[in-house]
Amino acid sequence: MKWSNSAHQAMRRCQRYFAIAHIMASATARDPDRREAYILKQLQPLANWQGSLVHQVLASRFFADNILAGRPVDAAALTAAAQDLAHRQFAFSAARRYREPGMTKAAAGDEYCALLEHDRGREISPEQLAVVHAKLGLCFQNLASQHQLLGMIQAGSDHRAEFSITFRFGDRRLPAATATLDLAFLRADGQPTVVDWKAGEGRTSDYSRQLLVYGLAIARSGLWPGLVPEAIQLYEFNLLTNRIRQHRMTAERLDEAEDFVYRSLVEMDALVGGRAYEDLDLSEFEVADKPTTCQFCNEGPLCVRLLEEAGRPAEAIAIQGRLW
């Protein structure tokens, strides 16, 4: 497996969640439990769905064709594209098509969507959907208002949306690390810039470490030989709150990011040891300490059943109490 920021967060959140969601889960495995782990991993609550829709539209050719052609951002057109995608994805999720045998993201294309509320049998009202659609419109209106950022993007070159970078440390025994950048490009001076799109309500969330890891990935990519850390520009843009934050990259902060990823890789290697799922024993992985961790865990129902089948009913009962 490979290291990623999401895998790190899962590992620190709960060892069993990490094992089930990041090692056990498989879209194509014949083992029904591995398939179930994959489906549960895809579930997202309605509150997170709007962010997914925004990311998909901004990664599409629709966005690139406007930005790269130097045309002004058409907030209404972007909103219409996002709302059309929302209608199609909502229908896909409401029909629970994500649970059809053999259904994968690749097979469904951009319609793939698995909403937690649909899987748990909870009703989503027209009023709730209207809020999502309104927030989509606000996100793209805010984007269109950011003339300085858009001008910098349009003046750049070598634009790459959803750009994945894989890099390694000197110890080849450790897993590779990956980072997927929402948007990367070269500024007019030929130096790299990363823009990370957010679309959440929170104003206190700190994504500085995530952005610095993106800077580390750029520095280690080898695409720009001789690159100095200070030349890397990192922007976090919350489209819902219309807030842009620049994260300064320095040699010291690059070292901090490298130390963080390396320590996490060592921890992951100690936990998994390069073993494939078939060689792992889930009983080796500890249950989360905090009740809220289980309460908001998509993999909870599967985790409980696997604990019961492994003869650990006390832990299964404890988790059930947290879930319900």
Q: Which of 231, 249, 272 is the last residue of a domain?
A: 272
Q: Rounded to the nearest 5°, which phi and psi values hold at 181?
A: -95, 130
Domain shared by 256 and 159, yes or no: yes
Q: Is residue 323 over pLDDT 70? A: no
233 is a domain residue: yes
257 is a domain residue: yes
Domain shared by 99 and 167, yes or no: no
Q: Is residue 209 over pLDDT 90? A: yes
Distance CA 41, CA 43 (A): 6
Domain shared by 134 and 197, yes or no: no
Our CA dihedral for 38, 93, 236, 73, rounded to 10 degrees, sits at 140
DSSP state, residue 29: -
Domain shared by 104 and 171, yes or no: no
Domain shared by 116 and 59, yes or no: yes
Q: For residue 177, give the H/E element and its range.
A: strand 177-186
229 is a domain residue: yes
Distance CA 159, CA 182 (A): 10
**What was the pLDDT predicted at 273?**
83
Domain shared by 81 and 138, yes or no: yes
207 is a domain residue: yes
Q: Which of 95, 126, 145 is the last residue of a domain?
A: 145
Domain shared by 168 and 238, yes or no: yes
Distance CA 101, CA 27 (A): 10
Is the pTM higher than 0.85? The answer reads yes
pLDDT digits (tens, 9 = 90+) for 40-69: 999 999 999 999 999 999 998 777 777 878
Q: Report the domain count for the chain.
A: 2
230 is a domain residue: yes
Domain shared by 159 and 267, yes or no: yes
Domain shared by 184 and 138, yes or no: no
pLDDT digits (tens, 9 = 90+) for 253-275: 999 999 999 999 999 999 998 88
Domain shared by 98 and 200, yes or no: no
Domain shared by 139 and 160, yes or no: no
Say which CATH number the domain at 180 has: 3.40.1350
317 is a domain residue: no
What mean pLDDT comes out for the span 15-39? 94
Domain shared by 162 and 254, yes or no: yes
Q: How many of the other CB atoms lie within 10 Å of CB of 178?
A: 17
pLDDT digits (tens, 9 = 90+) for 131-172: 999 999 999 999 999 999 999 999 999 999 999 999 988 777
The mean of the pLDDT values for the chain is 92
122 is a domain residue: yes
pLDDT band at 9 (very low <50, low <70, confident <90, very high): very high
3-state DSSP assignment of residue 70: coil
Q: Is residue 324 over pLDDT 60? A: no
Domain extent, residue 137, equals 43-145
290 is a domain residue: no
